[in-house]
Amino acid sequence: ALENGIPFETEVVDDRPLYESCLYDLLRKGWPEKYRDGFESLLRMSGFEGSLSDRKNWRDQIQQIAMKWQPEVGDRLIPEPPEDLGDFVKNFQSVFESQVTTLRECVGTVDESDLEQHPIHVGFSKLKVHGSTKKSILTKMLPPLFRFVAKSKQGQVSWSDFMDLAEESRGYTKFKDTQSFEVLLPIPGDAIESACPGLPRAVAALESLRKLAPGKRVFAGFIRDLREEVDRTKSDRGQISFNDMILHLYSALQPENPASERFLTELRNRFRYGLVDEFQDTDAAQWGIFRRIFLESKKGNRLFLIGDPKQSIYRFRGADVQTYLEAKEEILNSPEGAGYTLDTNWRSTPELIEGFNRLFSKDNGWFRPESKIEHRDCAAPPEDLRKSFLLEDPTGTRAINLIQMTEGIGLRNAKYRIYHWIAGEIRRLMENRERFRIQSGDKERGLRCDDICVLVRARSEAEAFQEILGEDIPSTFYKKAGLYESREAAHLSVLLHALLEPDSRHLRKALLTDFFRVPAETIGEMTRTDAPIPYHSMFDRWREWAVDRNWPALFHSILSETQVLYERDDAGDLHPTSERSWTNYSHLAQNLETEANVHQWDLSDLVFTLDRYRHRTIEIDADTDLHRLESETPKVQIMTLHVSKGLQF
């Protein structure tokens, strides 16, 4: 904090809801006040129009890019946003109107009731041009052009109208492929000018309009505005996110910071060795921190990076596999760097390993050369060290099977054909289950349903596949423990119960939660001595807010005035709560606050709903990452690729 000039007392917040609320405030008040008459034009230019779904996608894209954008580590918005969107829209409108005026002069008067009698249309129909080209231009390009010009004479056209003109023109394949209005000139311009006076100059005006392309620049400007608003809001409220912590540390370590060398010395003395697991899921700022502390050290600090770019699955969180590749190259090219490869696959049968080696080999072109991601063949462990064996397979099924689909059947039909094929294979395997011999440890057995796992991309695919399996093949869909099955949901439930039923038993139980972290021995001593319950004034204040249904004040206080931000280690030192835990608490508070406001709940409604959400599925352990939704009967396991990462079958 001292190195970055930020307050010591800060509130840790989750970025996502803050970006959402700031964008909402900008759309509702901030931007209309700042850009005034130009605001609606800017919105249209940036693509904020169409259906509710289109507008939601627009908001989601702005939020996602603004959250991932890290100018501190050299990220740039391309194209560059205008310095001032207000000035930009004024200047743009002037240029736009000038080109539209030129276009109107070139095309002349338009009678919308009879477009085919327009001189350009009549002249073009007489040109010696290939039949299909002539027909496409006459029916798919000239009519939207004439309608745009007619509308412009009424003084009603905007950039979105021009975009509509371009979109309609995409019906002509050549325009769709080239995005150039010059396809209106299929033969030399002199011949066209003679038959269609003004058309070549109209095409030049259309091209000038097309090249204005303000959409992406305005969109980039809104991204910059949102980022600045979020930063300003955090500064005013004394808030910081986990991503901010990383960026502040990155900035503090840069040579431009006069105190960086002293700070680096402290860190290098404290951390002699660094080990980063799953390094493929890091970003440029995180790598910049480790690089500065370890690689640039002259004091013998050592850094170990463990990762596999083929396993990178967190791009949506900002992970950048390119960072991994650049770090790997830098380390291997340094005098003291070395690379090591784990060359034995302990989890698969020799036949499957051989199949993977062939599938991912350079000869098959699985990874494009420019990606710099390479596969190295793996070996199976020696037979005497293997943990399980497929002793006998009566079906003769190969380890890897490729399915060739009939061309032209469509993605949806292809998916269902694959589902039916897999279901048929599972039935065939289970019909022969007693003839299979599998050795696991010192036991030998036949094939069971839970030996089979099917990986899907999304839950919807799992549901469709389960329906095809039917009742004759038992199956279960695995999922990661959800928000309401989390440890944090249980702790929040205990706290809210203490507000609803403020007797000594509920209050003492609440003191054990993350919000107070009172040791169990202390609670026991309080019970034996009948000592008064601490934090009475805080509980009283929370109950008043709950009675008044002031949910924002209640949840803000719970998250900012308690011990939930920090946890103690075995030595009693305070450390920030894990990002996962804090994110869960933030999302729970946000969800409950929203639902309570929408449904006009009181405290009992809120507690009842939270508990209903928590118990709507099977109870699970706090440390359990996966759980079944049905009984423990052996069943075919269905799970998403994301959930399966790191599991062993």
The predicted-structure confidence for 243-288, as pLDDT tens digits, reads as follows 899 999 999 999 999 999 999 999 999 999 999 998 988 889 999 9
**Mean pLDDT, residues 410-424 taken together:** 89
Q: What pTM was estimated for this model as a whole?
A: 0.62
Gap between the Cα atoms of 56 and 256, Å rounded: 40
Q: In this model, does residue 627 exceed pLDDT 50?
A: no
Gap between the Cα atoms of 7 and 238, Å rounded: 7
What pLDDT, in 10s, does the model give residues 285-344?
Answer: 999 999 999 999 988 899 999 998 887 755 544 557 888 999 999 999 999 999 999 899
CATH superfamily of 253-333: P-loop containing nucleotide triphosphate hydrolases (3.40.50.300)
Say how far residue 269 (Cα) sits from the centre of its chain. 37
Q: In the chain, which segments carry CATH 1.10.486.10?
A: 483-626
Task: Tell me what pLDDT residue 646 has.
Answer: 66
Under a CB-based contact definition with an 8 Å cutoff, are residues 165 and 155 in contact?
A: no
Specify the range with the lowest mean pLDDT, choosing from 345-349, 361-365, 577-581, 586-590: 577-581
Task: Tell me what pLDDT residue 460 has.
Answer: 78
Q: In the chain, which segments carry CATH 3.40.50.300?
A: 253-333
Among 638, 173, 642, 182, smallest CA distance to 449 is for 638
What pLDDT, in 10s, does the model give residues 485-515?
Answer: 788 999 999 999 999 988 888 888 899 999 9
Residue type, 291: R
Q: In this model, does residue 240 exceed pLDDT 50?
A: yes
Task: Tell me what pLDDT residue 7 has.
Answer: 57
Task: Tell me what pLDDT residue 353 has.
Answer: 92
Under a CB-based contact definition with an 8 Å cutoff, are residues 132 and 140 in contact?
A: no
What pLDDT, in 10s, does the model give residues 381-401?
Answer: 998 887 777 888 888 888 888
Q: In this model, does residue 629 exceed pLDDT 50?
A: no
Q: What is the DSSP letter of 533?
A: P
- Give the burial class of 396: count Cβ atoms within 10 A of its Cβ; 0-12 exposed, 13-18 middle, 19 or more buried: exposed
Gap between the Cα atoms of 307 and 282, Å rounded: 10
pLDDT greater at residue 556 or residue 577: 556
The two structure tokens encoding residue 12? 């840790």
Q: In this model, does residue 146 exceed pLDDT 60?
A: yes
Gap between the Cα atoms of 407 and 410, Å rounded: 8
What pLDDT, in 10s, does the model give residues 69-104?
Answer: 999 999 999 999 999 999 998 889 889 999 999 999
**Mean pLDDT, residues 635-643 taken together:** 84
Under a CB-based contact definition with an 8 Å cutoff, are residues 556 and 541 in contact?
A: no
Q: Cis peptide before 79, with omega less than 30 degrees from 0?
A: yes
The two structure tokens encoding residue 165? 């003109």
What percent of the chain stands above pLDDT 90? 39
pLDDT band for 630, please (50, 70, 90 cuts). Answer: very low
The two structure tokens encoding residue 515? 């919000």
Residues 6 or more apart whose Cβ sits within 8 Å of residue 489: 483, 584, 588, 610, 613, 614
Under a CB-based contact definition with an 8 Å cutoff, are residues 465 and 456 in contact?
A: yes
Q: What is the mean pLDDT of the chain?
A: 85
Among 209, 118, 208, smallest CA distance to 164 is for 209
In the chain, what's the furthest Cα-to-Cα distance?
106
- What end-to-end distance do the CA atoms of the chain give, in Å? 46
Task: Tell me what pLDDT residue 189 has.
Answer: 72
Q: Is 638 helix (H, G, I), strand (E, B) or coil?
A: strand
pLDDT band for 66, please (50, 70, 90 cuts). Answer: very high
Task: Tell me what pLDDT residue 617 has.
Answer: 35
Burial code (b: 16+ CB inside 10 Å, e: under 16) for 518-536 equals beeeebeebeeeeeebebe
pLDDT band for 626, please (50, 70, 90 cuts). Answer: very low
Q: In this model, does residue 57 exceed pLDDT 90?
A: no
Under a CB-based contact definition with an 8 Å cutoff, are residues 376 and 341 in contact?
A: yes
Q: What is the DSSP letter of 564?
A: G
Task: Tell me what pLDDT residue 137 has.
Answer: 93
Gap between the Cα atoms of 226 and 76, Å rounded: 15
**Mean pLDDT, residues 120-136 taken together:** 91
Q: In this model, does residue 535 exceed pLDDT 90?
A: no
Classify domain 483-626 by CATH number: 1.10.486.10
What pLDDT, in 10s, does the model give residues 574-619?
Answer: 566 776 688 788 889 988 988 888 778 889 889 888 887 776 533 3
Specify the range with the lowest mean pLDDT, choosing from 60-64, 152-156, 378-382, 468-472: 152-156
Task: Tell me what pLDDT residue 443 has.
Answer: 82
